Amino acid sequence: MPRTNRQWSLARTPRGRLTTDDLALVESPIPQIGPNEILVRNTWLSIDPSIRIRLSSTTPLGYLPPIRPGEPLVGLALGTVIDTRNPDFAVGDLVSHIFGFRDYAVIGTRADTIGGYGLPTRIDTRGMPPQWYLGPLGSSGLTAYAALTEVLQLRQEDTVWVSAAAGGVGAIAAQIAKLRGATVLGSAGRADKVEFLRQELGIAAFDYHDPTLHESLAELAPDGIDAYFDNVGGDHLAAAMDNLRPRGRIAVCGAVSGYDGAPHSGNPDLFQIVSKELRIQGFRAGSYNHLEGSMRQEVGGYLTAGDMVYHETIFDDLTQAPTALLAMLAGKTIGKTLCRLTSE
Amino acid sequence: MPRTNRQWSLARTPRGRLTTDDLALVESPIPQIGPNEILVRNTWLSIDPSIRIRLSSTTPLGYLPPIRPGEPLVGLALGTVIDTRNPDFAVGDLVSHIFGFRDYAVIGTRADTIGGYGLPTRIDTRGMPPQWYLGPLGSSGLTAYAALTEVLQLRQEDTVWVSAAAGGVGAIAAQIAKLRGATVLGSAGRADKVEFLRQELGIAAFDYHDPTLHESLAELAPDGIDAYFDNVGGDHLAAAMDNLRPRGRIAVCGAVSGYDGAPHSGNPDLFQIVSKELRIQGFRAGSYNHLEGSMRQEVGGYLTAGDMVYHETIFDDLTQAPTALLAMLAGKTIGKTLCRLTSE
Q: Which of A270, A286, A302 is the endpoint of a domain?
A: A286
A201 in the same domain as A85: no
Contact B49, B66 (CB under 8 A): no
Instruction: For residue B113, name the pLDDT band (cuts at 50, 70, 90).
Output: very low
Using alpha carbons, select from B236, B71, B266, B224 the residue that is nearest to residue B165.
B236
- Cβ–Cβ of B281/A268 closer than 8 Å? no
- Roughly what angle, to the nearest 10 degrees, separates helices A292-305 and A170-179? 80
- By the 8 A CB rule, do A71 and A134 touch? no
**CA nearest A54 in B: which residue?**
B275
* pLDDT for the residue numbered B115: 42
What per-residue confidence (pLDDT) applies to B256? 83
Inter-chain residue contact B277 with A282, CB threshold 8 Å: yes
The verdict on residue B331 lying in a domain is yes
Q: How far is it, in rounded angstroms, from Cα A225 to Cα A156?
A: 13
Residues B145 and B230 in one domain: yes
CATH number of domain containing B128? 3.90.180.10
Give tens-digit pLDDT for A13-63. 999 999 999 999 999 999 889 998 999 999 999 999 999 999 988 888 778
- Mean pLDDT in chain B? 93
State pLDDT tens for residues B116-164. Answer: 456 788 999 999 999 999 999 999 999 999 999 999 999 999 999 999 9
Average pLDDT over residues A66-78: 95
> Contact, B336 vs B312, CB < 8 A?
yes
Residue B342's pLDDT is what? 77
Inside any domain, residue A296 = no
The confidence score (pLDDT) of residue A2 equals 65
List pLDDT tens digits, range A95-143.
999 999 999 999 986 655 444 456 789 999 999 999 999 999 999 999 9
Helix, strand, coil % in chain B, rounded to nearest 5: 30, 25, 45
Coil vs helix vs strand at A66: coil
A242 in the same domain as A212: yes
Same domain, B40 and B115: yes
Contact B61 A272 (CB under 8 A): yes
Whether residue A143 is found in the same domain as residue A281:
yes
User: Domain for residue B306, yes or no?
Assistant: no
Q: What are the tens digits of pLDDT across the range B173-232?
A: 999 999 999 999 999 999 999 999 999 999 999 999 989 999 999 999 999 999 999 999
Q: What is the pLDDT of residue B18?
A: 96
The DSSP symbol for A72 reads: B
Q: How much is the pLDDT for A136? A: 98
Asked if the structure places residue B293 within a domain, the reply is no
- Is A294 part of a structural domain of the chain? no
List all residues 6 or more positions away from A127 whose beta carbon is below 8 Å from its beta carbon.
none
A-chain residues near B279 (CB < 8 A): 279-282
CATH number for the domain spanning A272: value is 3.40.50.720
Are residues B116 and B202 located together in one domain of the fold?
A: no
Task: Show residues of chain B in contact with A245, CB under 8 Å.
Answer: 62
pLDDT bin (cut points 50, 70, 90) of residue B246 is very high
Nearest CA in chain A to B287: A277
Asked whether residue B301 is assigned to any structural domain, the reply reads no
Rounded average pLDDT over A286-310: 96
In this structure, are B113 and B205 located in the same domain? no
Residues B275 and B178 occupy one common structural domain: yes
* Type and span of the H or E element at B296: helix B292-304
- B223 to A58, A89, B154, B158, B220: CA distances (angstroms): 19, 40, 17, 11, 9
| More confident call, B3 vs B224 | B224
User: What is the DSSP secondary structure assignment for residue B99, as one 8-state letter?
Assistant: B
Predicted pLDDT of residue A113: 44
**CB neighbours (10 Å) of residue A23?**
21
Under 8 Å between Cβ of A244 and A269: no
In this structure, are B127 and B206 located in the same domain?
Answer: no
Beta pairing class for A244-252 and A279-282: parallel
The span from the first CA to the last CA of chain A, in angstroms, equals 9
Give the confidence band of B265 by pLDDT, cuts at 50, 70, 90: confident
Q: Name which of B59, B152, B241, B271 to mutate to probe chain A: the one with the most chain A Cβ atoms within 10 A of its Cβ.
A: B271
Structural domain that includes position B335: 4-134+311-340
Q: How many domains does chain A have?
A: 2
B143 and B104: one domain? no
